[in-house]
Structure 1
Amino acid sequence: MAHYQMVSVSEQHNGKAIFTYFTGSKDARGKSWCPNCVQAEPVVGEGLKHVSEGCVFIYCHVTDKPYWKDPNNDFRKNLKVTAVPTLLKYETNECLQANLVEMLFSED
């Protein structure tokens, strides 16, 4: 998913929380090349049961291992995703609320 596609998704779902889950692609047997992604999948699946109605969830495969390892791949370069699995939350209105912006910058 390129950066411009994320912007497009956020515009389509303005005001909604958008969760994007980046994970290693799966082979024909349905198993990811990324062992951490295999471990995280049931955890994320369970967490999805608690997502508020109206939220948007995007399941994004970062393709195969050689592409992911390339430091210039689109995910690393444009979206700044540095590890898989990664779960990001994006809300288009957070910048309007000072306490949320402060919390965002102070998180470790």
Structure 2
Amino acid sequence: MARYEEVSVSGYEEFTQVVEQHSGKTIFAYFSVFIYCQGGEKPYWKDPNNDFRKKLELTAVPTLLKYGTPQKLVESECLQADLVGMLFSED
């Protein structure tokens, strides 16, 4: 099995430094924004009128959503690699 190295950077300067450090190797770069958001205390989350339920139409946690689209994975769907892959793929 081929070996790979995973590197996480922040900002263009760090990106270019890591690219230079790995000169001569095949490099894949993945750019995205992830927001980790806690839904609040249990009483707030259970309230059917909370903003997450009303404005984002969340029905359960965990939920992984592609903001601005109707695409989302709910509860155990978040653990299915094929579904997560489809959510992140561009059509």
TM range (shorter): 0.3 to 0.5
Structure number with higher helix proportion: 1
TM-score by length of 2: 0.41
TM-score by length of 1: 0.35
Structure number with higher strand proportion: 1
